[in-house]
């Protein structure tokens, strides 16, 4: 048995076909009666009239009577067919209405197409079909409009969650304490320190990151000669406390004297020599090995505190990063150009680069005033980025992408996302930059910055450790 067609047009056709069968049955009876009417030369319009007119002719009447019975039989069959067709149509239309109600949630049967059998009913069906089509299109458009931003939010949220998780896992093995030193007694691989009668414990929530400003003008690797890969003019160690949200920056002056490992340009170890920390970048490939050599030297300055993460920026990229946040307003720490100390200036483009790079090389302490400008600029820049990131963390990701045109790093976007969002959630608080104290003296041939080692050690204890709570 074939499956019923619930299409309202098909229902109408089947109904007309059923009525056609009834007309055919009546027509057969009519033709039979007309034949007898012509034989008796009398016209009749009904079965009763035909029977009365031929009452004198018994045989013929009998024959006609038989014919009337035949007609009656056909009429009865036609009526049965009509009732059957009407019932089928009613069943099909009911099923059709039920399915439409399920599909479109129609509230009233008056809203259903196919409930009228006339031409006006069919017109109503077509109008209603158009209404349904418009409703479907509007509903589909609304679903698309709502779904697209929702999908983007879900993708962003899931990406954000993945980056956070990846960043968290990547940082788990980068914790360590100070090494043996002449100022304290250390236990548990430097995680516990006794200094001046006080016990300190390592804050294992801290992640340490090195920000290195590279002078590419000195980059050359001249004839594969060692020590010609450029200099690290700016070295800042940032201690990020992911539990409290505190960021403690430590600036290591570029002329700080420290033991520096020496490598050839192809990575072969040559030896170690005491020199300015800025030159540790020169002994390497100008990229990864040079950066790691700076980290090794920085760890020696910090008495073994591990520094695994770094970002190296070509100072020529400062204009792009400066303008990416709409410029930076800085309060001058000293006289600069025709502006006196305390004045506030707005830096754009190359003016920002000049502000943090220029120095009077004729002065032995030329790096001292420049370092003060760098700190002032850094504080102003971080403050502006932080305010923007609180409103929209996408600012940080955009800066990361901009920096990558002028920088290289081992800090993945997942780590940046994890550290940045964690600090913001904890109430980001950036402490003043601490410059390791020391004394500048003439060298041969360049100036040398001699650290106050005990003061440097106390800075390490203050930033990376907390006094143990006595019981």
Tokens (6 digits) for 279: 């030159």
| Same domain assignment for residues 351 and 462 | yes
| Same domain assignment for residues 98 and 20 | yes
Domain boundary among 115, 131, 151: 115
Q: What is the CATH number of the domain that holds 317?
A: 3.40.630.190
| Same domain assignment for residues 301 and 374 | yes
Would you say residue 439 lies in a domain? yes
Say if CB 285 and CB 267 are below 8 A apart: yes
φ, ψ for residue 200, nearest 5 deg:
-120, 145
**SS3 label, residue 286:** coil
φ, ψ for residue 315, nearest 5 deg:
-60, -15
Would you say residue 387 lies in a domain? yes
According to DSSP, residue 332 is labeled: -
| Same domain assignment for residues 79 and 223 | no
pLDDT at 176: 81
Residue pLDDT tens, the chain, 471 long = 444 444 444 434 444 444 444 444 344 444 344 444 344 433 434 444 443 344 344 444 444 444 444 444 444 455 545 555 555 565 676 676 666 555 444 443 444 444 444 454 555 555 555 555 666 666 666 555 554 554 444 444 444 444 444 445 555 455 689 998 999 999 998 999 999 999 999 999 999 999 999 886 655 556 667 777 788 999 999 999 999 999 999 999 999 999 999 987 777 888 999 999 999 998 888 888 899 999 999 999 999 999 989 999 998 899 999 999 999 999 999 999 899 999 999 999 999 999 999 988 888 888 999 999 999 999 999 999 999 988 888 898 899 999 999 999 999 888 888 898 999 999 999 999 999 999 999 998 889 999 999 999 999 999 999 998 765
Tokens (6 digits) for 344: 């506030």
Would you say residue 127 lies in a domain? no
| Same domain assignment for residues 309 and 449 | yes
Would you say residue 150 lies in a domain? no
| CA 455/CA 451 separation, integer angstroms | 8
| Same domain assignment for residues 417 and 307 | yes
What residues form DSSP beta bridges with 258? 275
Neighbours of 122 (CB within 10 A): 16
| Same domain assignment for residues 107 and 179 | no
pTM of the full predicted structure? 0.64
Laid out side by side, the sheet with 192-195 consists of 185-187, 192-195, 198-202, 465-467
Tokens (6 digits) for 12: 């109408």
Would you say residue 246 lies in a domain? yes
Q: What is the 3-state secondary structure (H, E, C) of 409-451?
A: ECCCHHHHHHHHHHHHHCCCEECCCEECCEEEECCCCCCEEEE
Query: What single string gives the DSSP state of each residue in 193-242?
Result: EEETTEEEEE-TTEEEEEEEEEEEEEE--GGG-TT-EEEEEEEEEEEEET
Range of the domain at 364: 171-467
Domain boundary among 74, 98, 115: 115
For the chain, helix, strand, coil in percent to 5 are 50, 20, 30
Domain boundary among 115, 136, 151: 115
Would you say residue 16 lies in a domain? yes
| Same domain assignment for residues 179 and 103 | no
Say if CB 378 and CB 236 are below 8 A apart: yes
| Same domain assignment for residues 359 and 294 | yes
Would you say residue 312 lies in a domain? yes
Specify the number of domains making up the chain: 2
| Same domain assignment for residues 195 and 304 | yes
Cβ within 8 Å of residue 21, ≥6 positions away: 78, 81, 82, 85
Angle at the Cα of 379 (from 466 to 450), degrees rounded to 5? 65
pLDDT at 56: 40
| Same domain assignment for residues 336 and 418 | yes
| Same domain assignment for residues 101 and 200 | no
pLDDT at 150: 47
Would you say residue 441 lies in a domain? yes
Say if CB 381 and CB 325 are below 8 A apart: yes
**SS3 label, residue 262:** strand
pLDDT at 280: 94
């Amino acid at each position: 048995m074939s499956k019923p067609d619930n299409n309202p047009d098909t229902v109408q056709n089947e109904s007309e076909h059923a009525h056609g069968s009834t007309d055919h049955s009546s027509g057969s009876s009519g033709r039979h009666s007309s034949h007898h009417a012509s034989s008796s030369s009398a016209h009749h319009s009904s079965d009763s009239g035909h029977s009365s007119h031929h009452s004198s002719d018994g045989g013929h009447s009998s024959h006609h009577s038989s014919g009337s019975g035949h007609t009656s039989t056909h009429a009865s069959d036609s009526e049965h067919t009509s009732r059957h067709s009407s019932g089928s149509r009613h069943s099909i239309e009911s099923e059709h209405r039920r399915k439409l109600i399920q599909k479109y949630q129609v509230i009233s049967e008056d809203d259903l197409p196919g409930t009228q059998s006339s031409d006006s009913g069919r017109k109503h069906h077509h109008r209603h079909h158009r209404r349904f089509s418009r409703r479907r299109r509007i509903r589909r458009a609304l679903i698309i409009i709502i779904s697209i931003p929702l999908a983007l939010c879900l993708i962003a949220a899931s990406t954000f969650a993945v980056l956070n998780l990846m960043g968290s896992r990547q940082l788990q093995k980068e914790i360590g304490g100070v090494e043996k030193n002449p100022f304290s007694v250390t236990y548990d691989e430097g995680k516990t320190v006794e200094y001046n009668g006080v016990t300190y414990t390592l804050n294992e929530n801290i992640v340490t990151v090195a920000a290195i400003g590279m002078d590419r003008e000195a980059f050359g690797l001249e004839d594969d000669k060692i020590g010609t890969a450029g200099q690290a003019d700016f070295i800042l160690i940032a201690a990020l406390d992911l539990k409290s949200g505190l960021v403690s920056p430590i600036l290591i002056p570029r002329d700080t004297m420290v033991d520096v490992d020496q490598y050839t340009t192809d990575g072969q170890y040559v030896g170690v020599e005491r020199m300015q920390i800025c030159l540790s970048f020169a002994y390497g490939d100008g990229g990864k090995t040079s950066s790691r050599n700076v980290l090794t030297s920085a760890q020696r300055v910090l008495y073994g505190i591990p520094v695994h993460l770094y970002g190296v920026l070509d100072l020529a990229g400062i204009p792009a990063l400066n303008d990416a946040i709409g410029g930076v307003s800085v309060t001058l720490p000293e006289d600069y150009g025709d502006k006196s100390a305390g004045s506030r200036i707005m830096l754009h483009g190359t003016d920002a680069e000049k502000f943090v790079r220029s120095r009077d090389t004729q002065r032995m302490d030329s790096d001292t005033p420049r370092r003060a400008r760098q700190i002032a600029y850094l504080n102003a820049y971080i403050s502006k980025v932080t305010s923007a990131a609180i409103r929209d963390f996408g600012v940080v990701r955009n800066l990361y992408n901009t920096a990558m045109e002028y920088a290289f790093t081992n800090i993945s976007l997942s780590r940046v996302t994890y550290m940045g969002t964690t600090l913001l959630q904890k109430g980001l608080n950036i402490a003043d930059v601490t410059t390791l104290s020391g004394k500048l003296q003439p060298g041969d041939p360049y100036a040398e910055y001699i650290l106050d080692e005990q003061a440097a050690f106390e800075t390490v204890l203050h930033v990376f450790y907390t006094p143990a709570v006595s019981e």
